[in-house]
């Protein structure tokens, strides 16, 4: 299994309402990709971190293999979601690992 974890902060110039809407859209778009790509074991987006968090949005996902992760990354639905995500976020952090 391959774990893929990505964390973002929302752009500081967004109002609180815009941040909430952006986080919800990120969640909706990424979680929809799960249904379209084979090899996804689990995928969830966290938008309501505790006050101790220093990131606003987190993607926690598990794939059958590294090949499945690579297929997910180039899937048109993921690419479209990524275009939106890059427009409203900053400070992307990612770790991929095999277990």
Say what the pTM is. 0.93
Q: How many CB atoms lie within 10 A of CB 85?
A: 21
Structure tokens at 74: 């180039």
The count of C-alpha atoms lying within 13 angstroms of the C-alpha of 83, restricted to the half-sphere facing its C-beta, is 6
What gap in Å lies between CA 27 and CA 11, rounded to an integer? 16
Span 2-52, pLDDT tens digits = 999 999 999 999 999 999 999 999 999 999 999 899 999 999 999 999 999
| Residue from 85, 35, 79, 96 nearest 57 by CA | 85
What gap in Å lies between CA 98 and CA 12, rounded to an integer? 33
């Amino acid at each position: 299994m391959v774990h893929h974890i990505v964390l973002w902060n929302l752009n500081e110039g967004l109002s609180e309402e815009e941040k909430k809407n952006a986080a919800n859209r990120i969640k909706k778009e990424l979680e929809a990709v799960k249904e379209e790509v084979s090899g996804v074991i689990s995928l969830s987006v966290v938008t309501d971190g505790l006050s101790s968090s220093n990131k606003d949005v987190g993607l926690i996902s598990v794939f059958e293999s590294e090949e499945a992760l690579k297929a997910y990354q180039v899937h048109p639905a993921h690419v479209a979601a990524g275009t939106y995500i890059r427009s409203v976020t900053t400070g992307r952090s990612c770790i991929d690992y095999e277990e």
